[in-house]
Every structure is written in structure tokens, then in C-alpha cells.
Structure 1
Amino acid sequence: MLQLALVTLRPRAAVAGRDLLDPSVTHLRVRLGDLDLYRHVNNAVYLQYMDLGRSNYLADLGAFGRLSARGWYPVVAASTMSYRRSLTLGQRFTVTTRVLGWDGRVVYLEQVVERDGQLVARGWVAGRFLSRAGDRIAPADVVSAIDGGDRVSPTLPDDVATWARAVDVAHR
């Protein structure tokens, strides 16, 4: 939680020339508080790692100021995870975050956790943006605010589109 608060309140510097569709990499290390009774990273902690990755993704784009000026902030509408390997105390790993596309309701992201080049976990996230008044902000408006222009979403991979319909977040 402290890491997320720091990343949000004091985001890392924007990366010059970063494109909306470029991946963002966050380097982390497993801490004692991340472990469960079985001495590996608790499954819920992966979601916190992904929060850090998404915050760093926005920071890399220099988007925090632009979104904050409009009173917009991101929330998770749905997520799913698959786990392949465990992480244990002290291990270094990365979370790679990339936008897969968007529709009229949400932005779709893939987040991959890797250690030493091996897949540890993969998550898909459907994210929304809300205003401080509680209104939903159209993903196209968010993309325009971040990117500075009108942009068409890439075609979502079939498995992600199927998942989005199954969890009822896809644009109707």
C-alpha cells in the first residue's frame, strides 16, 4: 500500500516520446509483507503490483497532471489473473503494462509479471475513468487527453474480447 501511495503521490518522470501503446515496465522486489503463510506472494498482492504498474504506465506518459486537471481518475471495472510460478522473499521481478485497446466503456490492459525472463503471472484489466463528480468518462476522451488527438483503438485480441463480454464490461 505504501508503494502505491508513493507512486501515485510522487509519480516517476515521464518518458520522452512514449506512445500510448508502448509497454511500461515496473521493477519490483518481493517484501516480507507480500508473503502469505506458505511463504510466497499472496494472490491479492499481485493485484497491488498491477496497481503499481498501471500508475507507472500513466506516469511514463506524463498523464497524471492532465487527468488530475480534469478531475479524472482510473478505477478497475474487472480483472482476471492466471498464475504460472511463485515469487518468494527478496526476488526481483518486473510488471509490464500495456494497453490492448478500448471501446465505448473501458480501456483494456494486459499486465505480465516476469522473473528472470520467465512468466510468473498474467492479468487482464478492464479500466474505467471517473470524474470527481462520479461520472464515467468515455475512453476516447481519456485517450485524447493523454495522447492529444483522436485515435482509433487497435483491434482487441479475440480472447480478450470474449473475456470482456463474459464479465459484462464490453461496450454494448
Structure 2
Amino acid sequence: MHLILRTILMLFRSARRAPLTIWDTSSLPMRVLPTDVDIAVHVNNGMYFSLMDLGRFDLMVRSGVWKRMRRRGWSPVAAGETIAFRKSLQLWQRYTIETRIIGLDTKAVYFEQRMVSDGEIYARAHIATRLVARGRPVSQDEILEEFGQPPAGLELPEWIHEWRIANSLPGARTPAPHAWHS
């Protein structure tokens, strides 16, 4: 909830920006604020994913998908994330959050997001997002009914499948006892 005011402002502004399709790339202009930085005066590594939430919301709002998802009672939840850092975003620096869907499978919708400043990638993340309604996952058929068919040739990179398997935890209804293994 630390970004709640920023999220509300972004939702209001995104609704007035140029429309996109859900398969387009969103570019959300931002500036590093004092609440984004750590003691080293650069964006805290934990903030990147929170800020990237805003980029995904911008894409969903501008494409009209957010309104349709809310009408159907769907909520997005992150199922897995990975990030790589190249440079540090500094206090007051301007940057954009670039967001696009890179594919989907029966389990998730996959986003690639980039923090970009002066044409340079500072960080890149891949996020697997599930849509849920009333405690159950939304099916791929239902998602495509709302999102429309993806562009021809949109295919998940093979490493994404491998990453999801290697990074997965048991489902919420399966026991996952805590025990460190040597």
C-alpha cells in the first residue's frame, strides 16, 4: 500500500492517455521520488517490482482490459518474478516503465518490463501473472475472450517455461512445509 496514492493518480491519468491494445507496449513516464530510494540514494531493489505494478496497470487501463476484468471480478496476482539490474536509477531521475505481454500459457500471462532512461535499459524483469476470481484461477479461454487473440507469432521464449518449472512452489492447496535442505 506504500504506492496507493501514486497508483490512484496513475489510474486516473492512464484513463486519459492514448488507448492501446493489451498486446501493445505501454510506456509510462516516471521520476524517482524520495520514497523510492534507499540509503545509497538510488531506487531500492525492492521498489522495482512495486513500481513495475504501475506499468502493468497502465497497460491494462489504457487497453480497457482493467475495466472488463473488474466487471468480471478478476484480480491479477504475481505468481513469479525475476529481475536483472544494469544501472541504478538515482533520485529525481526521469525514466519510463516499458511494459508488454510476451505470451501466455495455461497457467499465467507473462510480462516483460523494463526501466529505461535516456534510451538505456536500467533493469529488466519478467513477471508471471495469474488472474483469479472467487478463489479460482481464470482459464486461458476466458482470458482470451476478454483480451482477444494474441498477435500472430507471439510465442513464449523457451527459457520462460524452464524458469517457471524451476521457480515454482506447490499449489496453495498442497502442503509446503518449511525445512532447509543441506
After TM superposition, the score normalised by the length of structure 2 is 0.82
* Residue correspondence of structure 1 range 1-172 to structure 2 within 5 A: 1=3, 2-8=5-11, 11-13=14-16, 15-16=18-19, 18-131=20-133, 133-147=134-148, 154-168=154-168
Which amino acid letter does the alignment assign opposite residue 136 of structure 1? Answer: P
Matched residue of 1:110: which SS? strand
Deviations 1:76-134, CA, capped at 9 Å, x for gaps: 00100000000111100011100011011100110011110111000000000111x21
Distance between the aligned counterparts of 1:46 and 1:122, measured in 2? 10
Q: Which runs of 5+ in 1 are unaligned?
A: none
Q: Which runs of 5+ in 2 are unaligned?
A: 170-182
Q: 1:135 to 1:68 in 2, by over 3 A?
A: same
Which amino acid letter does the alignment assign opposite residue 57 of structure 1? Answer: L
After TM superposition, the score normalised by the length of structure 1 is 0.87
Confirm or deny: 8 A CA contact 1:67 1:73 kept in the other structure: yes
Distance between the aligned counterparts of 1:155 and 1:19, measured in 2? 18
* Bigger Rg, structure 1 or 2: 2
Confirm or deny: 8 A CA contact 1:13 1:62 kept in the other structure: no
Distance between the aligned counterparts of 2:61 and 2:92, measured in 1? 26
Deviation of 1:159 (Å): 2.5
Matched residue of 2:9: which SS? helix
Confirm or deny: 8 A CA contact 1:25 1:97 kept in the other structure: yes
Confirm or deny: 8 A CA contact 1:66 1:146 kept in the other structure: no
Confirm or deny: 8 A CA contact 1:23 1:98 kept in the other structure: yes
Matched residue of 1:53: which SS? helix
Confirm or deny: 8 A CA contact 1:30 1:92 kept in the other structure: yes
Distance between the aligned counterparts of 2:129 and 2:152, measured in 1? 17
Q: 1:151 to 1:38 in 2, by over 3 A?
A: closer
State how many pairs are aligned.
166
Which amino acid letter does the alignment assign opposite residue 165 of structure 1? Answer: I
- More moved, 27-36 vs 157-166: 157-166
* Percent of aligned positions that are identical: 33
